[in-house]
Structure 1
Amino acid sequence: MRRILVIGAGLIGSRHVDAVRRHPGCVLAGVVDADPARRDDAAPFFRDLFDVDVAVDGAIIATPTGLHHAQGAHCAARGWHMLIEKPVATTEEQALDLAQVAARANVRCLVGHHRRYHPAVDVLREVIDSGAIGDPVSSTLMWSVRKPDDYFGTLWRQSEGSPVMINLVHDIDLLRFVLGEITDICGFGADHQRAGGRVESGAVALRFASGACGTISFADTAPSPWGFEAATGENPNIATSGQDMWWITGTKGAVSFPSLTLWTGARDWSQAPRADRLPAQSAVPLDAQLGHFIDVIDGRSAPVISLDDARHTLKTTRRIEALLAADIKTGRVVHVV
């Protein structure tokens, strides 16, 4: 039974606590959070990471991104293996330094891009890699919700609450995972609804190393049925719609996600493609990720998302955030090579 410490008991941290309780291979060693209202009477509670005085095998860092580097270094110094929520750090330099610190401490690390643990994502990647739709040509992805006003009640979200770094980082990781590296980015952003001075909606155009092109349309000010959480029902805080939110075309067909509807059989526009629904198993991604983390702790498995892999997702996400923020300030579309 591995002893797991959860650092941060907010929206995602509380879900990690529940996952640890459910998993037969671990126990909740304790919870760390600055807010005493988040105390868990069923496990030791600590207001500060330095106060932890119980045995720990692995730590789940689920605090705001700005704390990841310092807390990760603390965990490494204490010999705790780590599952670090996304984004892995605030900057690429911090992510690289954390990887070096962990390596010196012989600590194994996994980054919490948990959507890779959806069985449907594995099927989608197999469709692309198998050539079932030919060479990928285009990708269209949507994410649109309206976050409640009290979501921005915490100070860090008032200044750093852009959906790019908080939400789209997941989608960008999946784009890299399924379609390969992103080489070119352009786009524009908007902040005209809440007028908080941060990116709240926008559109991004991408080019992949393969030559395929893609788009992302996003907003945290517009309720809709389109978005990964709504489509898959993975987040209890977001209503489930079951609607597709990602469409990929290729030279021989197309596929939509998460329904995994595969369109093939058309030679050109004179023929109607045939639709087939591909099967995928069901799983709770956070539970699957925790099971993998235990395997990483025990040395039975290499991390599915390493610090280095997550650093590349962070790099691309920060490029998008920077160019959209610049567009808001200047009103001019920016292209980043």
Structure 2
Amino acid sequence: MVSQPAKIALLGAGLIGGEHAALLFRNPKTELVAIVDPAEAAKSVADQYGARHYCDALTMLEQIRPDGVIIALPNALHAAAVIACVEHGIPCLVEKPVADTLEAAMLLVAAADRTGVPVLVGHHRRHSPDIAKARQLVAEGALGRLVAVNAMWMADKPGHYFNTAWRREPGGGPLLINLIHDVDCLRFICGDIEEVMALTSNTVRGFEVEDSASISARFTSGALGTFLMSDAAVSPYNWDTAAGQALYFPHQPENAYFLSGTQAALAVPSMDLWMHETQNGDWQHPLVRRHVTLDGSRAYDNQLAHFIDIIAGTATPLISARDGMMTLATTLTIARSARERRPVRPQELIDDAMNS
């Protein structure tokens, strides 16, 4: 028996929403049945893919009742959209961040827990073979005990990118748009981050939000890490271009993450593993390099395949709403640390949100 394609609706037809529409259209296991976006341009996107166009999500959910929904709306609209979907019993994939505030994320998580409807958070890098393999290598002890981690995300966004007002305002800066992916990757690979100390700067553009940040972090394992981020710097040192997995960026082979342990070091996404020839080697002995091969699969294709399995009830979300909330809390911890010029723990923000 041949199963029918999953009927999926898309909320938001902007930059990433348009990419989701193309992915859904190309996949034989999905049918793009509706696009919800009040913008006039969204109707053209819907017509292009033979989908119905709506301006209101609730009307669409009640009239079509899709098998699943992909949410690609501005950050501040994520929570309400997810809650509407799960209350209608419809699984959803929500683009990161799971919400724009921790309080909104908690409401979203509560709704998902109450209804039992699965929510997949769109941290697509978890579905990339390099990130999955790095997690496996660390978990298997291939690096020994993890000691130090370095992550970079630096790129030069064009001026017209900021014509969209929410990208210039609190809740829409590069911490929540870009660095949150790196935070999630390092949480996934190395375990939770328990404390951060951060500096941010907005001196290049002068917007309310930051354009650059420098962060020191302590993982619960005891490993230490550093993050360097800027969306105003010419650089190949970001996962989006280095991994060749991004939908709308050129591939610039480089590295974005460096993981070092007591037995070996790993560069990602090149997947070069460095170690001594013998276990008794030390800094006065040469290192050998071994390249770790990957399966060549594509992160967004893998994410969509995973979402299809979630809709079918054969898989649970690789990153749940609660897990996505922890990534959000850690990223907001960075913002608070920079604002208050002190070390901050994610648990502090969670406690504050629960008591607010």
TM-score range, shorter chain: over 0.9
- Deviations for 1:170-211, whole angstroms, at most 9, x for unmatched residues? 110111011011011002111101011211101100011111
Aligned to 2:42: 38
1:128 aligns with 2:138: yes
- Deviations for 1:148-173, whole angstroms, at most 9, x for unmatched residues? 11111112112133110011111101
Deviation at 1:55, TM superposition (A): 3.5
What amino acid is aligned across from residue 136 of structure 1 in structure 2?
A: L
DSSP 3-state at the match of 2:270? coil
1:296 aligns with 2:310: yes
- Deviations for 1:228-258, whole angstroms, at most 9, x for unmatched residues? 1010122243222110111111111211010
Partners of 2:108 and 2:67 in 1: CA distance? 18
1:84 aligns with 2:88: no
1:25 aligns with 2:33: no
Deviation at 1:2, TM superposition (A): 1.0
Are 1:165 and 1:321, in contact at CA under 8 Å, matched by a contact in 2? no
Unaligned runs of 5+ in 2: 346-356
Deviation at 1:307, TM superposition (A): 0.9
Are 1:83 and 1:109, in contact at CA under 8 Å, matched by a contact in 2? yes
Deviation at 1:16, TM superposition (A): 0.9
What amino acid is aligned across from residue 123 of structure 1 in structure 2?
A: K
Aligned to 1:118: 128
Bigger shift: residues 97-106 or 182-191? 97-106
Q: Count residues with an aligned counterpart.
A: 331
Pairs within 5 Å for 1:37-186? 37-39=41-43, 40-41=46-47, 42-52=50-60, 53-160=63-170, 161-186=172-197
Aligned to 1:330: none
Deviation at 1:48, TM superposition (A): 2.0
Bigger shift: residues 37-46 or 108-117? 37-46
Moved over 6 A (4+): none
TM-score (norm 2): 0.90
Deviation at 1:298, TM superposition (A): 1.4
Superposition CA RMSD, Å: 1.4
1:272 aligns with 2:286: yes
Are 1:185 and 1:320, in contact at CA under 8 Å, matched by a contact in 2? yes
Deviation at 1:140, TM superposition (A): 0.8
Deviation at 1:296, TM superposition (A): 0.9
Partners of 1:106 and 1:197 in 2: CA distance? 38
DSSP 3-state at the match of 1:125? helix
Partners of 2:256 and 2:306 in 1: CA distance? 27
1:257 aligns with 2:268: yes
